[in-house]
Amino acid sequence: MLMANKRTLSYLLLVSLLVMLGSVLGPSGAGAYAVPNSRGGMNAQWYYGTDAELNTAADQAKAAGVQWVRIDLKWSLVQPTNATSWDWTWPDKMVNKALSRGLGVILVASYSPSWANGGHSDDRYYPSDVNAWKTFLDTAARRYLPLGATVFELWNEPNNSPQSSPALYTSNILKPGSDAIRAASSDVHVPVTILNAASASLLGVSGIVDPYAWLDGIYANGGKDYFDAEAVHPYCWPLAPTTTSTYNHLLRTVELHNTMAAYGDGGKQIWATEFGYPTQGPNTVTEQQQSDYIASAFQVWTQSSWLSWTGPMILYTYKDGGVSTTDPELNFGLIRSDWTFKPIMNQLPTIMASVPPAPAVPTSGYNSASNPPPASGTTLISGFESASQWTGEAAVAADTAHKTEGGQSLKATYPVNTGWKNFNYAIASPYLNLGSATELKLDVYPYSQTPGTYSEPVELKLHDVTGGVIYEQQLPHLTANQWNTVTVSLTGIAAANRQKLDYIDLYLYSGFTGEIGGRTSVAYGFDNLRFTPTAINGFENTSQWAGEATGVADTAHKTEGNQSIKATYAVSSGWKNFYTDIASPYLNLSAAASIKLDVYPLSQTPGTYSEPIQLKLHDVTGGVIYEQQLPHLTANQWNTVTINLSGIAAANRQKIDNINLYLWSGFTNEIGGRASVGYYFDNLRNG
């Protein structure tokens, strides 16, 4: 967030802005809209707070009636020292707190560590190691997309950098970042929204490209197809939102829309990912003005002529950064540093009820129509959607005509000469955990026939950080010009030696002369590398589940096995349980990174509220280790809920003795007046 000093306003610009102002005056509508409202959000700098403080912050965001929180995903914090060490502690905490309240999450991926930006201590330098940037985003997307954090903004104010180059930003951040995230999206079967980074609202600053020239530069350098919506930081402080000025970047947002339209992108949304007013320091406003001006800004943002192309407006920021009468940057908070509310925090629910919601969120990456998911009960390791994910001596080409899932397979062509020809996938920390898997499957399409009954001349090798090479065998004899599924049993490999897979290789060895049979090259299509996790509960036994909810077997709706269980909860005071007790030796989830549950709601929960059902896990040692609402789900279809376990100490999840899916009558908004709610549950499994 940055603002420049005021400059002289040209006559022509004054005229044009006055014309624009005429369409702004007056509210966009006085009708009441449902909250939480997708039009609003707040920046959530929740780093370093206690668990209680994080809970308070997330609860207050929810109570304010906004739908979104914008969370920093600082690369320099996750990987501060090198490419092989990772620390997701703080992003995990913030994301999980937000998602558990049903809040939408915008992840701002930005700020490069010195080892990846040419050795600069200033983390605003763009990544010089583009492959490391792609690996970071690939890993982050695979971590957070399945949890429900589906919006990524690629950098923060990239024009406010010692480089300040739209060309370099496009080549080193936007294009490779978008490619990596979209490929991961296709692999994990979750659509993603990519925001082109908002530039800082700086005008006339030496060495800094202003926001209007910056956006033009993105298009001039081929960035058009690499984002789903444009982000802006339309600050205008200390001016009122309707005050005409060169430095009122809120009113000037229409100029950015016009630039996008000139490049054929007028249908894309513009999201205001930072907007606000500081309440102390030079050129600031009073706390009451902050509240009044923000209310006015939402009216500007939702004026009728802008409604089709403006998205959410995310307020900067949740809490003051400290106590200062000289530094405006520390005083943008909606609450004060002592946790007391400024007027805006009390006013926000009313503001949110007075403005129309944002248009539907645009998405890219995974497309369920053209890219069907893998079979139920399996977890995808790689859908071979990204050629850059696999490296080695084999020549790689995407093949959309031959595939078993997703949008493509990869065709690997191995030249036959001396030695080994690799085709490998390096997996970054926290690595691939197969500790809960029973087997691994890979779909293979040979483009030519291996002679006789020889095994294929390609070996599959699995390497684990702890276990070393845990598997290395030739692929069995396969039939050419059709898909074959290769199954690798993992039961003979100690679970402790397959919890940190960092390397998968499909290599050809020229010494397999009988298998090669005189061919000068061999080619294979590879797709759908997946594993089957250990089932926790398939809901095959109705008597296993007890409580006040009524449980009935259902063979028509299921995702695995012979049935699901339909649980019907009567809505009355208190809690309605639906639980299973697990006897000694209990359920050991210490090796699991996550668990998954398939849920089919029989009626729609209103708006974007979380479901009125909480999932609770109890451990003999750890006590209640997890207790959160199920996220908002789509009625009358199966939804897969993913629970991230990485923030729970492994020692506290080795003896799970009770799993409960309970309804609480206090979730009145979520229940929405229903007298009962019903769900089908199936396939509770390790993720």
Residues 529 and 565 in one domain: no
Residues 526 and 541 in one domain: no
Radius of gyration of the CA atoms of the chain, in A? 27
Quote the pLDDT of residue 448.
96
Residues 86 and 112 in one domain: yes
Q: Which residues contact 56 (CB under 8 A, 6 or more apart)?
A: 339
Residues 200 and 73 in one domain: yes
Model pLDDT for residues 164-198, shown as the tens digit of each residue: 999 999 999 999 999 999 988 888 888 999 999 99
In a domain, 361, yes or no: no
CA dihedral 336, 339, 340, 343 (to 10 degrees): 50
* CATH code of residue 320: 3.20.20.80
Residues 508 and 571 in one domain: no
- Owning domain of residue 510: 379-533
* 618 has a pLDDT exceeding 70: yes
Q: Into how many domains does the chain fold?
A: 3
Among residues 516, 533, 550, which one ends one of the domains?
Answer: 533
Model pLDDT for residues 159-173, shown as the tens digit of each residue: 999 999 999 999 999
Instruction: Give 433 or 520, the one with higher predicted confidence.
Output: 520
DSSP 201: B
Residues 191 and 203 in one domain: yes
Residues 211 and 347 in one domain: yes
* Dihedrals phi, psi of 458, to nearest 5 degrees: -115, 135
Residues 653 and 557 in one domain: yes
Contact by Cβ (8 Å): 514, 399: no
In a domain, 602, yes or no: yes
Amino acid identity at 455: S
* Terminal Cα-to-Cα distance of the chain (whole angstroms): 39
Quote the pLDDT of residue 377.
56
Q: Which residues contact 569 (CB under 8 A, 6 or more apart)?
A: 548, 549, 576, 578, 613, 663, 676, 677, 678
Return d(Cα 307, Cα 17) in angstroms, integer: 18
* 656 has a pLDDT exceeding 60: yes
Model pLDDT for residues 556-613, shown as the tens digit of each residue: 998 877 899 999 999 998 999 999 999 887 888 877 778 889 999 999 999 878 899 9
Mean pLDDT across the chain: 90
Quote the pLDDT of residue 17.
39
* CATH code of residue 506: 2.60.120.260
The full 3-state SS of 161-197, as one line of letters, equals CCCCCHHHHHHHHHHHHHHHHHHHHHHHCCEEEEEEC
Instruction: Give 232 or 27, the one with higher predicted confidence.
Output: 232
* 378 has a pLDDT exceeding 70: no
Quote the pLDDT of residue 14.
33
In a domain, 24, yes or no: no
